[in-house]
Amino acid sequence: MNAILGKGQKSTPRSLDQVKQVKDEVQNQFDFLDKELQRKHKELRSQQDLVQELRESLTELKNDKLKLSSDIQKKERLDEQLQKLTNSIQTLKDEIENDKQSLEPILVNFIIKN
């Protein structure tokens, strides 16, 4: 920029057109840099928004994982209960069958007597 403005140099006086040309060049450079800065800010906001969305997605996924883990534990407990109940039912069926067999002679004897 010093080269554009001519600072630090001994030079001949510039004409108004030369000053306007330097001013226009500096203004153009400023406008370009300003647009570039705005674009970078927009890009930064976009990236920040994306990061926030990803954080929210991550939180949601972690919550889903916790729920799944809880559901799996619940299923395991229910499977255990089912197995215990199934075993109990089979034990009771076996006892009923044994009791029927034990009662059969008594029932036959009762029928014969009547």
**Along the chain (114 residues), what's the average pLDDT of each consecutive run of 10 residues?**
54 87 97 98 98 98 98 98 98 96 89 82
**Model confidence, pTM:** 0.57
Which residue is associated with the tokens 């969305």?
Answer: 53
Nearest to 34 by CA among 26, 23, 22: 26
Residue 11 domain-assigned (yes or no): no
Residue 56 domain-assigned (yes or no): yes
Domain that holds residue 71: 31-113
Q: What is the C-alpha separation between 32 and 45, in angstroms, rounded?
A: 20
Residue 19 domain-assigned (yes or no): no
Nearest to 30 by CA among 3, 1, 9, 6: 1
Contact partners, residue 5, CB within 8 Å, separation at least 6: 22, 26
Nearest to 26 by CA among 46, 1, 56, 9: 1
Residue 96 domain-assigned (yes or no): yes
Quote the number of domains for the chain. 1
pLDDT in tens, 21-48: 999 999 999 999 999 999 999 999 999 9
Residue 65 domain-assigned (yes or no): yes
